Structure 1
């Protein structure tokens, strides 16, 4: 059935006036203080995985943001007619939460108490410790026997230990030091989950676990 001229014109007018757009938005679990007339905490958002996060100054109606949780959400963006001078030209509202998961923790300066090393079944007579300084590309700490020192290289979740040296004290450690140094040589990546550092080999296997501690080496 053909549309009458009047019906066609009304349909065209409706479609042309419909200013709602649905978009997928990635929301970081971290916020940032935004400059402005009134200082506020802004969400960090992006519209694709390949983009960098940017400050989001507006509110999303119906969306409850929890720090420490990353979200993928579907939002509706509506153009506002004649908004006030200092207001956004868009209104945002939540359509659906597609996914949420804990925010990955970045590797920052700090110390990690080693609590597990693959291939070592004995007791830690002394506490092995890794103190990492990504900005300086340095690592120090202890194997549970000798002090260690060397260089680290990081790139996103990639991590490698280089030029690792130790002091030369003899210890009865049931092979802990040897195994720890072997594990550091095999490390190619890391992840941090609930303040636990996991070092991984080239196959993605976890080969060392360490808990975050406040003290520095």
Structure 2
């Protein structure tokens, strides 16, 4: 009986310690988050379609992930967007997304395509100055390049 109790206690302790160890943030997760957060990302592609915007355009589709507040903000090419996010090593969940509701004539429904793509995001990849937002199958939804000037 004592051996069984000792075995259960040892297994329980091992489970607790391994659980605590996995709760720590790995250096790879921290590195990915640092590359994702606190910069302005300018959309260059939605799905397989390249986004062409004039350099002097007023509302270029963009996104920012604020590390301190865990808030996401940006523009869909017409309206301001805002919400919350949770990010892991390669996972990204956008929640409580909202936007202003201005009329957007002449933008070729860019705002609608951008918001539809954002609603499907589950993962991300960051390589240098490129951010890719992906769906659960790994398909490209939106691709960004980091802006020259931080916000």
TM-score by length of structure 1 reads: 0.49
Give the drift of 1:108. 2.2
1:111 matches 2:40:
yes
Within 5 Å, which residues of 2 pair with 1:135-174? 135-172=68-105, 173-174=107-108
Give the drift of 1:182. 0.9
* Structure with higher RCO (Cα < 8 A, 6+ apart): 2
Q: Please, which runs of 5 or more residues in structure 2 have no aligned partner?
A: 1-24
Would you tell me which structure has more strand in proportion to its own residues? 1
Within 5 Å, which residues of 2 pair with 1:36-51? none
Which residue among 152, 175, 182 is the counterpart of 2:116?
182
Give the drift of 1:106. 3.4
Deviations 1:61-108 (A, max 9, x none): xxxxxxxxx9xxxxxxxxxxxxxxxxxxxxxxxxxxxxxxxx866322
2:86 and 2:35 mapped to 1: Cα distance? 14
Secondary structure at the aligned position of 1:106 is classed as: helix
1:128 and 1:52 mapped to 2: Cα distance? 32
> Which structure has the larger Rg?
1
State the superposition RMSD in angstroms: 2.4
Matched positions, count? 118
Q: Is residue 160–residue 185 contact of structure 1 (8 Å, CA) maintained in 2?
A: no
1:122 and 1:110 mapped to 2: Cα distance? 20
1:122 and 1:114 mapped to 2: Cα distance? 7
Q: Please, which runs of 5 or more residues in structure 1 have no aligned partner?
A: 1-50, 54-69, 71-102
TM-score by length of structure 2 reads: 0.68
Secondary structure at the aligned position of 2:114 is classed as: helix
The aligned counterpart of 1:133 is 66
Give the drift of 1:155. 1.6
Would you tell me which structure has more helix in proportion to its own residues? 2
The aligned counterpart of 1:215 is 150
